[in-house]
Amino acid sequence: MSLMNYSASSTFSTEPDTTITTEPTTITATSNQDNSTTTPPIITTTDNPNDWWNTQPLAEICGRGGSHRRIVGGREVTPGSYPWMVGLKLKGNLGVFCGGTLIDKQYVLTAAHCFWRYGEWTKNASDIVIRVGAHDLRSTEPEARDLSVASIRIPKNYTKASKGLDIAVIKLENRVEFSRRLHPICLPPGNSADDYAGRVGMLTGWGDTKEGGNSSPVLMGVDVQVWNNSACDESLEEFDVISSMICAGDRAGGKNSCQGDSGGPLMVKSENGRWVLIGIVSTGQGCARPNNPGINTRVSDYIDWIPTQMS
Catalytic site positions: 113, 166, 262
57 DSSP assignment? -
Q: Could you tell me which of 277, 287, 309 has the C-alpha nearest to residue 18?
A: 309
* Helices H / strands E in the chain, number of each: 4, 17
Q: What is the sign of the dihedral through the CA atoms of 118, 121, 125 and 130?
A: positive
* Alpha-carbon gap, residue 258 to 267, rounded angstroms: 16
Residue 264 CA to residue 277 CA, distance in Å, equals 10
H or E element, residue 131: strand 128-132
d(CA 303, CA 188): 8
Cα 105 to chain centroid, rounded: 15
Structural contact between residues 97 and 88, judged by C-beta atoms closer than 8 angstroms? yes
What's the rounded Cα separation, in Å, for the pair 280 and 294?
10
